[in-house]
Amino acid sequence: MARTEDNNYDVIVVGAGIGGLLLTYFLCKSGYKVLCIEKESVAGGLARCFRLGNKYLEVYYHHIFTTDIYIQNIINHFGLGKYLISSPSSMGIFANNRIYPFSSPWDLFFFKPLSLFERLNFGMQIMRISRNKENNRLDSLNAMDWLINGFGLKTTKLLWEPLLKSKFGAQFDEVSASWLLERIKKRSESRKRYMSREVLFYLKGGMQNLIENIIQSINQEGGYISLNDRLQYFIIQKDVCCGVESSKDKYFAPIVILTIPVPEFIDIFKKSISKFNISSSYIVEYIGRLEKIKYQSIVGIVIKSKEQLLDYYWVNIADENIPFSVLVEQTNLIPAEEYEGRHICYIGQYTNPGDKLFQMEDEYIFNYIYPYLLKVMPKIEKSYILEYSVFRDKYATPVYSSGFSEVKPGFNTPIEGLFIVNNAQIYPKSRNIDLTVWLADRLFNLITNKHFLMTNK
């Protein structure tokens, strides 16, 4: 559909990540006239893809757990279920200058850095966590204190603390035990049996396959997506949101949905209420609560190699001296034949915008990390590397701090007709694409009193 001549719509969605695209599609499918605006030149958000040869690949590693029922529901809805590839995962952990296998609970018994008692306790704690049904009471509890109490000081310092630091940096000791419990449970649930290896799905053709199908369906249903279109202000009249002003135009609708990170929302919210002279003690309190939510950035490097670089799909780095936290060799989950016989490896690090890695020019990054790569993967040679690409996002994940439930935003805002949905609302669950789909369906239900998904926990 072309843009309406008068720029009037039933709903405006800001942000064309997976959540924004699905909300646009759900609403179009239900008869609403919907505009979706996106500041970037491509859709997909954190699940966006880039072209590598004649294939598309996610800029950041993505896989689908067997328990991810919502994203599987959507994939099947668009007729893409036949492209879901199932494969056993393999995991290692780099500690004490070597990689230890960590693919199944059996590997735990051979993890020599821990004593036999510590290994047995580790296994018992994971079993206890996987069966935990009462998570709310952990919201105010610090994850490090909770870990030390359950796993012991040595195990926590050796394994858990480096992993928390790699994801949350200097704020690692603020993280809620509730979030970490859900993170551990998610991985445990993806095993058919407790002692078995984890099984994962990957969508052949990458998330680009799904993104293109959603966009095509939006167009067929009469929706419109405007790329390179940055939100500037909400248009507010008599304390009611009635549209947006963007870098391209003004658009009008009685419902505006923002699928953007909390810091971006706060910035635009402040500008908008100032522009339209809106003020109240409730708005001041609302903004103050949201400003307590901190975010981590992400740097992702994708390597295309002539040779296999790792023996595992996923390697967590439990070494604070290494400037990346995870290595993911895509072609240890998906056959290299899918990428013309080449091997694909992701290097990931959560960080902040002031960090050296986030600010470094792309052409210098590989030389900077190469000595550390040699430490983790000794068989790598520079001659193996055919090309690499670097990606960054300023707001990748909230820091799910203790007591996060008290600051977690709802869908409604103090401005009537203005809604927000983003990954801060997933808490205490662990952020992933499956729950992005779930959130989109929940907000769709709030607006229409209907569910689009067949399954709703």
User: Residue 41 has what pLDDT?
Assistant: 97
What integer pLDDT is reported at residue 103 of this predicted model?
85
Query: Is the preceding omega at residue 428 within 30 degrees of 0, hence cis?
Result: yes
Does one domain contain both 217 and 272? yes
Asked, for residue 407, whether it belongs to a domain, the answer is yes
- Last residue of some domain: 381, 398, 415? 398
How many domains would you assign to the chain?
3
Residues 326 and 340 in one domain: yes
Angle at CA of residue 399, ends 394 and 403, nearest 5°: 150
Same domain, 225 and 286: yes
Place of tokens 């016989």: 341
Whether residue 290 is found in the same domain as residue 174: no
Q: State residue 456's pLDDT score.
A: 44
The range of the structural domain enclosing residue 348 comes to 295-398
Report residue 336: phi and psi, to 5°: -60, -25
**CB distance 320 to 339 below 8 Å:** no
Strand 11-14 and strand 255-258: pairing? parallel
Domain at 385, CATH number: 3.90.660.20
- What is the reported pLDDT for 457? 45
Q: What is the mean pLDDT of each run of 10 residues along the chain (457 residues)?
A: 73 98 97 97 97 92 93 96 94 92 84 92 87 77 95 93 86 93 77 67 96 98 97 94 97 98 97 92 94 96 96 93 94 94 96 92 94 93 95 96 95 97 92 92 94 63
Residues 284 and 323 in one domain: no
- For the sheet containing 98-101, what is the strand order? 98-101, 91-95, 314-317, 326-329, 343-351, 295-305, 385-398
Judged on CB neighbours under 10 Å (0-12, 13-18, 19+), 406 is exposed
Asked, for residue 194, whether it belongs to a domain, the answer is no
Q: Is the domain of 413 the same as that of 327?
A: no
> Terminus-to-terminus CA distance in the chain, angstroms?
34
Q: Residue 215 has which token pair? A: 């966009």
Residues 319, 352, single domain; the answer is yes
C-alpha distances in Å from residue 376, one per residue of 315, 324, 342, 372: 9, 11, 20, 7
Q: Is residue 239 part of a domain?
A: yes
- pLDDT tens string 63-107: 999 999 999 999 999 999 999 999 999 999 999 899 999 888 788
Contact indicator for 104, 126 with CB cutoff of 8 Å: no
In a domain, 243, yes or no: yes
Last residue of a domain, one of 398, 417, 434: 398
Asked whether residue 299 falls in the same domain as residue 282, the answer is no
Which one, of 111, 67, 95, 34, lies nearest residue 455 by Cα?
67
CATH of the domain at 42: 3.50.50.60
Per-residue three-class SS string for the chain: CCCCCCCECCEEEECCEHHHHHHHHHHHHCCCCEEEECCCCCCEHHHCEEEECCEEEECCCCCEECCCHHHHHHHHHCCCHHHEEEEECCEEEEECCEEEECCCHHHHCCCCCCCHHHHHHHHHHHHHHHCCCCCHHHCCCEHHHHHHHHHCHHHHHHHHHHHHHHHHHHHHHHEEHHHHHHHHHHHHHCECCCCCCEEEEEECCCHHHHHHHHHHHHHHCCCEEECCCCEEEEEEECCEEEEEEECCCEEECCEEEECCCHHHHHHHHHHHHHHCCCCCHHHHHHHHHHCCCCEEEEEEEEEEECCCCCCCCEEEECCCCCCCCEEEEHHHCCCHHHHCCCEEEEEEEEECCCCHHHHCCHHHHHHHHHHHHHHHCCCCCHHHEEEEEEEEEEEEEECCECCHHHCCCCCECCCECEEECCHHHHCCCCCCHHHHHHHHHHHHHHHHCCCCCCCCC
Backbone angles phi, psi at 423, to 5 degrees: -75, -5
* Predicted local distance difference test score (pLDDT) of residue 128: 86
Same domain, 289 and 413: yes
